[in-house]
Amino acid sequence: MLGLRARAARLPCPYSPAPSSSPATSLSGFARQGPLLAAAAVAGPPALSASPSARPFSVAWGSAMRPAGLPRPSTRVLCTAAAGSAPREGKEVLVQHLLVGEKDARLLVDLEKCIASGADLSDLAVEHSLCPSKQNGGMLGWVRRGQMVPEFEEAAFSAPLKKVVRCKTKFGWHLVQVLSERDQCTLEDIGPEELHAKMQDPSFIQEAQLIDVREPDEVERASLPGFKVLPLRQFGTWGPVMTDEFNPEKDTYVLCHHGMRSMQVAKWLQSQGFRKIYNVAGGIHAYSVKADSSIPTY
C-alpha cells in the first residue's frame, strides 16, 4: 500500500471505500478509508465509515467520487517535475491518482497524452488504474506527510494545484493530481485532570464544542455539564449534518465511557476538516476516578 511499505502484499492504495452516492450513514469501516501511516500502521477503529474528505462525497462527476462542491479541475497541464513549488509544510492535500505497472510505459505516455488533450484523470483511473482507489476515480482523500511512500509524498506535496505530475514508486508509475490543500487538522488526547481544570471556567463550557457519544442510558448514569449527546448508534442522523451544527474551526472535545468510541468519532471529525479535536483519554470513567469522584462510575 502507499502508506504501508513493509506489508504491501496487494496493490497500493491508502483508501479502499465502496462507492456510494450519499453521505456516510454509519461509522463501520471508516479506518479502511483513512490513510495508513508509513512508519507504523496506525489502524483506525473498525466502527467508522465516512468519506475521507471534509464534505460528503457524491458521484456527480461521472463514475468518479468527488467532494461535493469541489469544481471539476479545469487545468490539465501535465508536468513531470514540480521544482520550486511550495513544500506545503503543515498542510494536507486532497489527492487523486492513477497507477499503471512499471513496465507499462507506453500506456503511461498514452494516458498523459489523453490528459493533455482534455481527458480527466479520474475518468482514466476508473478504466486503467491498478489501484483499488479506481472505484472512486482514483480519489485518495486528504493526506498529510508521513502517510505515503517517499516518492509519492514528494510528488503530492510539491505538485502545483490541479496539474498532473508523474512519479514512480516500487508499485509502478503514478499520475498524481492535487485538487486542493488546507491547514493540517490535529487530534490529541486530553487527560481527565486537564479537562476538569478547564471545566471550572464557565467560558470554556460556553465556547468549546463538547460532544458525548455515549448512549442515552449511559448519560443518565453519569454526565458532564455542557456536553451535547450524539449517540454513536445514531450517527446516521447527526453525521451528515455535523458541519451544519458544529464549527470545524472551534476546539472540539469528544467523550465516551472509556475513550474508545470517542476516539473513533474524533478521527472521523478530523477527516471532516475539524481543525483541532481532543479525545478525553479514559472517558468519563477516568474523569470520575482521577478528576471528580462526584461523577458516578458504572
**Which of 3.40.50.150, 3.40.250.10, 3.40.50.1370, 3.20.20.70 would CATH assign to domain 186-291?**
3.40.250.10
Of the candidates 108, 95, 106, the one whose C-alpha atom is nearest the C-alpha of residue 163 is 95
Contact indicator for 189, 283 with CB cutoff of 8 Å: no
In angstroms, the CA 180 to CA 81 distance is: 18
The region that residue 113 occupies, defined by phi over 0 for left and psi between -120 and 50 for alpha, beta otherwise, is alpha
Q: Tell the residue number behind the cell numbers 494516458, with chain if given.
A: 111
- DSSP assignment, residue 219? H
Tell me the CATH architecture of domain 91-183. Roll (3.10)
Q: What are phi and psi of 189, to 5 degrees?
A: -80, 150
pLDDT at position 270, please?
Answer: 87
Catalytic residues: 256
* Predicted model pTM: 0.57
- Are 91-183 and 186-291 the same fold in CATH? no
Q: Which of 51-60, 65-74, 176-185 shows the lowest mean pLDDT across its residues?
A: 51-60
Q: Contact 162/178 with Cβ under 8 angstroms? A: yes
Q: What is the mean pLDDT of the chain?
A: 78
- Helix runs in the chain, H state only: 30-33, 105-116, 121-128, 150-156, 192-199, 202-207, 216-221, 235-238, 242-245, 260-271, 283-290
Question: What's the pLDDT at 132?
Answer: 95
Pairing of strands 172-183, 91-100: antiparallel
**Digit-coded pLDDT (tens) for 1-23:** 443 333 333 334 433 333 333 33
Where are the domains positioned within the chain? 91-183, 186-291
Cα separation, 21 vs 61, in Å, equals 11
pLDDT digit string, tens, across residues 157-176: 999 999 999 999 999 999 99
**pLDDT of the residue at 87:** 67
- pLDDT tens figures, 80-110: 444 444 567 788 899 999 999 999 999 999 9
Cα 284 to Cα 196: distance, rounded to the nearest angstrom: 11
The answer on pLDDT for 201 being more than 80 is yes
